[in-house]
Structure 1
């Protein structure tokens, strides 16, 4: 029996709601076993990551709260095909800089303090938005973050030219102190037709149930434990139609969904809800 992330000649199961409980139980057992054989996907800085060790920064609190630096090994196999195409340690400035854009009216939501990007929500009706333009398809995004009063943040990936979704949103990772969720926005919650149904408070029961199943197929959640004022590391990898999320070196959730394979992603960035959340040591890798 093949799991969601398996590749083979067997018929692929795309809707697990339609199979028997026994099939889902076998899938879950297989998914629990497979990660131990996938070292590149589960190591924090796997062979060929080309990501340098995280430097100690200026403030004592920050340096003390960071985890031990990982050792990098020599590239081997598929890993060496990934190359860093964007990185930022936010040093030597007080503003995000020319590579970043904020949503209109959010200019005062983002600053750089002591080599750290700081986001604070300044509008009641929307979180603080910042984006970086970069053309990519498959991608590996890694960064450090710290909750310092904020409620949650999203790592959002967009295609500014995609007309089928709200605001170009293709996919995202949503991080709360006790949960993490990955979402295929293109075929899920931000698809214009789906979004219209989500906003309809009088949606008929059958349509509401179909909507619930659709959202379940395009999202995956995990329980986590984010310590306020402590630094954590998030790594997000998209390869084809599979997204995986790693927190502090451990894979916490993954999902196969068609929207992840959207080939023309044009920007990525953060949306912060509350006051405030900090980011550092951003690295983006793409296949060569």
Structure 2
């Protein structure tokens, strides 16, 4: 049986796409575990200021980029090794001609950006999908490119409670990874906090939200009436995509008591 370049079996594209790109294909623009509400809360505490330089790891289709560009930074730099979201992101960037913007095709572990060149670095829903070594490398890269006192915004999938049974956590991780077709390694709030502090960051704000990414009320809050209608239409006309979305939602519901969105605003060491 033939396989695509990523090793998945041939068939409808919707069966092969990683979860976040499947959702984007179906019209979902907010792809963050804690929803738009959490992203806005994190940015409120990170306080990007006019004239600053903002770097976003994994900007995807540009929903958070639009929020960041609305703060009138001097420079916005998106760093993403994947080309899938680039067309949508560039449309967002075009709406802010007064801001110097660019998209760097690079891995977040090695951006190629200068030391101490950013005031704010933000990464959402990406560290969860990394192995432990890569998580540490990406956080270290954020520390390297941030100016002293710069802010690192992290928005990821979390586990609860802190003393979650290890067997339950392993089962959850395995089933979610199989469903979204990419390795998912959510961590507890304390585990995420430890990763940041071990890299030299000081936590200035921490937040937790329910993991309701595909629940109707959250979809409406994140996407608005028109966006929700667009997703509903796509689910009608795209049976394979609808099946994947409903399967993902079923798994999220199954482990609902143990899943959450977690977010931090951390300050880079001043040396």
TM-score, length-scaled by structure 1:
0.25
Q: TM-score, normalised by structure 2?
A: 0.26
Higher helix share: 2
| Larger CA Rg, structure 1 vs 2 | 1
Determine which structure has the larger strand proportion and give its number: 1
